[in-house]
Structure 1
Amino acid sequence: MSDPVEPKARELKMWLAVRTDLPVSVGKLLGQAMHAAGWLHLRVASEKPALLQEYLEDATPKIVVAVTSEEALERVEREAAAAGIPHQSVRDAGRSEIEPGTKTVCLFGPAYRDELPSYLRRLRTLQNNQFTAGIAEASA
């Protein structure tokens, strides 16, 4: 058995903001998250390679948070941009469950939580019951 890892005082993290108002399946949301992660990692590797390297040398924590509308997702984008935090939103192609161009998720970071704007720090972790209605609609 390995020794427990000592928690760091400050840790770089990424946050994935997910719209809970969309009638989409879990699989669709996972695909959207993968798009955001792939594109954001490429962007940060190009624009802030030392930041990405530091993030990758640690536990690479990611936190999934809920937003209730496209407007809230756009605020996540604006707040991250204003704070200089790397971010990547995804617009769906519209091939399966939702209309083309629908914004679904926004991944932001790596960043230290204490350096986030207050709006981003106040986002709450996504809970199963927050998108259960959407999943039921998508599978109907």
Structure 2
Amino acid sequence: MTTPPFTVLRPREASIFAAFVEAVVAPEPPLPPVRETGAALALDASLAAAPAANRLVLRQGLYALELAPLVLGHRARLRRLDPAARREVLARAEAGPLGPLVQALRTLAHLGYYGDDAVMRGCGYDAGAVVARGAHLRVTEARW
């Protein structure tokens, strides 16, 4: 699998975010794993549209979260921890000074993961069917 064309994120930042998404979303079958979704691309698009200061804070925040386990007594960075240890580190980080950052990234993680077409279909939502139904209503009921 090739690396998607990011405009803002570097591959390492995307990898950190993917590990973060795995920890906070914890997808289980039939939902696809994070690596098969556009979660990192969604973050990249959000950052590309964000003011430069916000972009800088969130990107640097990813590195802070990557190193947080070392500060909290683990012997590995976030991406190297097992899922349970990642969740424990993120819970501790959220309770501390990194709390607002973790909360902001948690929101972006959920939006990125659950906004993916395959994930939405796995949850029973078909965006294409909704658009088709709306188009049909516009024609048959002369809406707009």
Instruction: With the length of structure 2 as denominator, give the TM-score of the two structures.
Output: 0.29
**Greater per-residue helix proportion:** 2
**Greater per-residue strand proportion:** 1
Instruction: With the length of structure 1 as denominator, give the TM-score of the two structures.
Output: 0.30
